[in-house]
Structure 1
Amino acid sequence: MSAHKVSYEKWRDAITSLDLKQCPTCILFSKEQQLPLEQHQNEKCGYGRLKSSHSYEGQPKSQNFGIFYNQYESRLTKFIRCDLREEAEKLYKLIQDDCSQKPRLIISIYGGAKYFQMNERLEKEFMRGIIEAATIADGWILTNGLSRGIGKLVGEAILQDRTLNGGSKDLVSIGLAKWGSLPEETRELLSKKFTSQKNAIQNGAKEEDHEFPREILKTTDAATIERHLTYMVLFDDGKLSGYICDEQRRMFVQEATNDKNKCYAVTVIVEGGKNTLEVILNDLKDSRPVVIIDGSGRIADVLSDLLKRHPER
Structure 2
Amino acid sequence: MFVRVSVDSKPEALLQLMLREWQMDRPKLLFSVHGGSENFTLTPKVKQAFTKGLITAARSTGAWILTDGINTGVSKYVGEAVKTFGGHNLRKRNTVGVTPWGVIDNNTDLIGRDVFRPYQPLGNPLSKRADLNSFHSHFLLVDDGTLGKYGCQEGVRKKLEKHIQLLKIHPRFNQRVPMVCVIVEGGPAIVSTVLDYVSNNPPVPVFVFEGSGRAADLFAFLHKHTDSDSLIKALSICFRQLDADIKEGFLLRIGEVFGVDRKEASRLCALLLECMDHRQSVGERTIRFDLFTIGRKSKMHFYFTLRVSDNHL
TM-score range, shorter chain: 0.5 to 0.7
Displacement of 1:160: 1.2
> Percent same amino acid among aligned pairs?
27
In 2, distance between residues paired with 1:121 and 1:220? 32
Answer yes or no: is 1:84 the counterpart of 2:7.
yes
In 1, distance between residues paired with 2:208 and 2:143? 30
User: Residue deviations 1:53-93, cap 9 Å, x none?
Assistant: xxxxxxxxxxxxxxxxxxxxxxxxx1111111111111111
What residue number does 1:102 align with? 26
- Matched residue of 1:146: which SS? coil
Query: How many equivalent residue pairs?
Result: 216
Unmatched segments (≥5 aa) in structure 1: 1-77, 199-209
Cα RMSD of the aligned pairs, angstroms, is 2.1
Q: Specify which of 163, 166, 183 is matched with residue 269 of structure 1.
A: 183
Answer yes or no: is 1:243 the counterpart of 2:150.
yes
In 2, distance between residues paired with 1:144 and 1:176? 5
Decide whether the 8 Å contact of 2:183 with 2:209 is kept in 1: yes
Displacement of 1:96: 1.6
What residue number does 1:256 align with? 164
What residue number does 1:30 align with? none
Unmatched segments (≥5 aa) in structure 2: 170-175, 229-276, 278-313
In 1, distance between residues paired with 2:107 and 2:90? 28
User: Residue deviations 1:183-202, cap 9 Å, x none?
Assistant: 3xx212222xx26x65xxxx
In 1, distance between residues paired with 2:24 and 2:95? 14
Decide whether the 8 Å contact of 1:106 with 1:141 is kept in 2: yes
In 2, distance between residues paired with 1:220 and 1:131? 31
In 2, distance between residues paired with 1:89 and 1:285? 23
The within-5 A match list for 1:1-313 is 78-97=1-20, 98-162=22-86, 166=88, 170-183=92-105, 186-191=106-111, 194=112, 198=115, 210=116, 212-213=118-119, 215-216=120-121, 219=123, 223-244=130-151, 246-258=154-166, 260-261=168-169, 262-286=176-200, 287-312=203-228, 313=277
What residue number does 1:15 align with? none
User: Residue deviations 1:20-73, cap 9 Å, x none?
Assistant: xxxxxxxxxxxxxxxxxxxxxxxxxxxxxxxxxxxxxxxxxxxxxxxxxxxxxx
User: Residue deviations 1:212-232, cap 9 Å, x none?
Assistant: 33x33x836582111111111
In 2, distance between residues paired with 1:220 and 1:127? 28
Hey, which bits of structure 1, 4+ residues long, moved more than 3 A?
165-169, 218-222
Displacement of 1:247: 2.3
In 1, distance between residues paired with 2:199 and 2:16? 25
In 2, distance between residues paired with 1:99 and 1:277? 34
In 2, distance between residues paired with 1:139 and 1:220? 35
Decide whether the 8 Å contact of 1:107 with 1:139 is kept in 2: yes
The one-letter code of the counterpart of 2:104 is L
TM-score, scaled relative to structure 1: 0.64
